[in-house]
Chain A
Amino acid sequence: AQSVAQPEDQVNVAEGNPLTVKCTYSVSGNPYLFWYVQYPNRGLQFLLKYITGDNLVKGSYGFEAEFNKSQTSFHLKKPSALVSDSALYFCAVRDMDSNYQLIWGAGTKLIIKP
């Protein structure tokens, strides 16, 4: 069965330190992977996607993600965290059966402490 796992409910990072939010997936074929961020009382905002090409994908707000096929992972990273990065982060993979659906992770709450 297709799935996305975000193994950490919450990640705490000190401001200025690098951050990583983990995501692993299970789909057949080549995955289309996405990261979204959700600030309080807002909808989800697209951060970045991997479709094909370079394994390191750069996105909005200085975030990047590394696609690792052998480890079936797509971890979100940022070299230097800001307090304003505190939010809920969702990883998603396109459902290979439907082509229009996304399979969502449960989300990771990122807390950046000053």
Chain B
Amino acid sequence: GAGVSQTPSNKVTEKGKYVELRCDPISGHTALYWYRQSLGQGPEFLIYFQGTGAADDSGLPNDRFFAVRPEGSVSTLKIQRTERGDSAVYLCASKGQDNSPLHFGNGTRLTVT
């Protein structure tokens, strides 16, 4: 079936603007993760959803970052008052049952100018 879909693939925005990044997980996957990745680095955990609720948002860097998953499927990562330091690739992943691997989307490359 279809994999994890992330839109847009690229987003350029000006400092101070608001952005929304969308993730459409694999159908039936209840677990959804957002990560941030800087060039040449490993994924940095942001937030984990189990169903509709954020089970762990301890990785969100500050209160400018927020994510929702209102119907337990599509998720949106929202960043307010963007800063140049927010520039990175934002990855979404979903997972089926417990020991199954994460399935990643291709990411959204965010550039804040």
Contacts and interface: CB of A to CB of B under 8 A. Distances in A.
A51 B106 contact: no
Contacts of A101: 45, 48, 56
A44 B55 contact: no
Contacts of B104: 36, 43-45
B100 to A, nearest CB: 9
B107 A43 contact: yes
Contacts of A70: none
A32 B100 CA distance: 10
Given A43-B4, A43-B107, A44-B43, A102 B102 contact: yes
Nearest to A48: B101
A104 interface: yes
B41 interface: yes
Interface in A65-114: 88, 90, 98-102, 104-107, 109
A41 interface: yes
Contacts of B43: 44, 90, 104
B69 interface: no
A90 B106 CA distance: 16
A107 B101 contact: no
B4 to A, nearest CB: 7
B44 to A, nearest CB: 8
A104 B56 contact: no
A34 interface: yes
3 smallest CB-CB distances across A and B, nearest first, come from: A43-B104, A46-B101, A104-B42
15 contacts: A34-B101, A36-B104, A41-B109, A42-B106, A43-B106, A44-B104, A46-B102, A51-B99, A99-B98, A100-B50, A101-B45, A102-B102, A105-B42, A106-B42, A107-B42
